[in-house]
Amino acid sequence: MKTAISALLIFSLLFHEGISLSNGIPSSACDKIILEQYNVNPTACSSNFIIKSSTSSYTINEPVTITISSTKPDTTFTGIYLLAQDRSSTKIGSWKTTDSLVESASCNGLMHKSKVEKTSIEAVWYPTVNVAEDITIKAIIIENDNMIYVNCYNVIITPR
C-alpha cells in the first residue's frame, strides 16, 4: 500500500501541470512512472501502430514532424508518451503540438491529456542543443488500460 501511495504521489508531482524534469532523467525512470500509473507490465510489441518522421536527419532548431498512427482503421490508442533521447538516454530538444489531446509532460516529452480514443497524433520536435549523434524518437503507446507498448515504436534520425 505504501508503495502504491508513494508511486501515486511521485507521479502527481512529476506530471502536475507539465512540470519538466532535467534532461538527466534516464528513459527507464520515465517508463517506470508511466507503467506504475497503469499498474501493468509492458505488452509484447504489436504491428497495430507506426511511428514516422518527416525527415531522416536533423539540424539545430529545424523542426522534425513526428506522427504516431494506427495501421488499421478500427484500432485506436488512448494514450501516448513521446520523447527524444541520445545514446546515453539523455532527453534532447523540445516538443510542440497543436493536437488538443496532447501536452508537454515531465521527462521532457509529450503525453496525452485524456483517454479519448485516437487513431493518430502529430507533434513537432525541435533539436535545441548542439548534438552530433543519432537521436532516437521513442513512443510509448497505451492502447488501453491493460495494453502498453514500451520500446516497440522508435525512429532514429541522424545529424546533418
Q: Which of 63, 53, 107 is nearest to 83 (CA)?
A: 107
Look at the alpha carbons of 12, 14, 20, 26 in this order and tell me if their dihedral is positive or negative.
Answer: negative
Along the 160 residues of the chain, how does pLDDT read in single tens digits?
Answer: 444 434 333 333 333 333 333 333 445 556 566 666 667 778 889 999 999 999 999 998 899 999 999 999 999 999 888 999 999 988 888 888 877 666 666 667 877 777 889 999 899 999 987 778 999 999 999 999 889 998 999 999 999 8
pTM: 0.75
What confidence score (pLDDT) does residue 8 get? 37
Q: Which residues pair with 65 in a beta bridge?
A: 124
What confidence score (pLDDT) does residue 145 get? 86
Instruction: Provide the CATH number for the domain around residue 127.
Output: 2.60.40.4060
What confidence score (pLDDT) does residue 34 get? 62
Expressed as residue numbers, the domain containing 65 is 2-159
Q: How many domains does the chain have?
A: 1
What confidence score (pLDDT) does residue 105 get? 63
Contact 141, 48 (CB under 8 A): no
